[in-house]
A = this chain, B = another copy of it.
Amino acid sequence: MTTAPAAKAPPKAPPKAFAFDVFGTVVDWRTSIAAVAAPVLAAAGRGDIDAFAFTDAWRARYIVGMRAFGQSGRSFVKLDVLHREMLDAVLAELSLDLGEGDRQTLVLGWHKLGAWPDSVEGLTRLKQRFPIVTCSNGHVALMVNMARHAGLPWDAILGAEIAQAYKPAPAAYIATAQALDLAPGELCLVAAHHGDLAAARAAGLQCAFIPRPLEYGGAPAPDLKFEQQWEYRAADLIQLAGQFGC
């Protein structure tokens, strides 16, 4: 008599739609923002500040700020407002007193980020069979501007502004599924960030991980401690589309 194989959890049904983290997963914020920052810093006589280090310092405040926002008790405000506050803090730290126009230029830089080379083709392929939506902390106007700039073919802009809650709060993921008339488990978050995926999983979503080793210019991502076995993993968005027959 042979031993029965160990019981395995039944495979989940494939997702009915894909929701995407955007900053870092679909677009390369670091290269784009550094390109906006470099001439601003130079014109301010601070060519000594490395534009990438400046960008990383700004983004580091974002990571902390998003995790803290839900506990702050503060009403939802669009990401432009938070980006501006974080920028002001970075500039104060550097004793760099930029004018209003320069600060606005930098904040609006986040509306025009460039896509990773595989993003437009991967999204376009996936869209043939599945709804593809944003589940980003970027607000609607920012996401619309970015999509028009980078050619991202979203079916809908969902995520933080629709939920009135910032990721990693569960409401940001759940509201995105609800807007699509889906149960959380019918929606798959696609992200390059283990922390984002861990929060999506806790909210009931399926998860797909896409490594973006150049997101921090080759430096390790800050959320490796959240790494785990995700439902799907692909080298890029074209490969992810291929895994779903697109």
Q: Does A180 contact B141, Cβ atoms closer than 8 Å?
A: yes
Residues of chain B contacted by A78 (CB below 8 angstroms): 181
Range for the number of chain A residues in contact with chain B: 20 to 34
Q: Are B140 and A144 in contact (CB under 8 A)?
A: no
From A131, A133, A156, residue with most partner B Cβ within 10 Å = A156
Specify the chain B residue showing the minimal Cβ separation from A157: B156
From 107 to 133 in chain A, residues with beta carbon under 8 angstroms from any chain B beta carbon are: 131, 133
Q: Tell yes or no: A63 within 8 A of B by CB.
A: no
Q: Are B131 and A180 in contact (CB under 8 A)?
A: no
Cβ of A147 < 8 Å from any Cβ of B? yes
Cβ of A43 within 8 Å of any chain B Cβ, yes or no, is no
Each complex incorporates copies of this chain amounting to: 2
A179 interfacial contact with B, CB 8 Å = yes
Q: Is the CB of A158 within 8 A of B180?
A: no
Q: Which of B148, B161, B179, B181 is close to A155, meaning CB atoms less than 8 Å apart? A: B148
Most buried by B among A139, A180, A181: A181
Interface string of A47-90 (1 = CB under 8 A from B): 00000000000000000000000000000001010000000000
Most buried by B among A143, A161, A180: A180
A interface with B by C-beta (< 8 Å):
78, 80, 131, 133, 139-141, 143-144, 147-148, 154-158, 161-162, 179-181
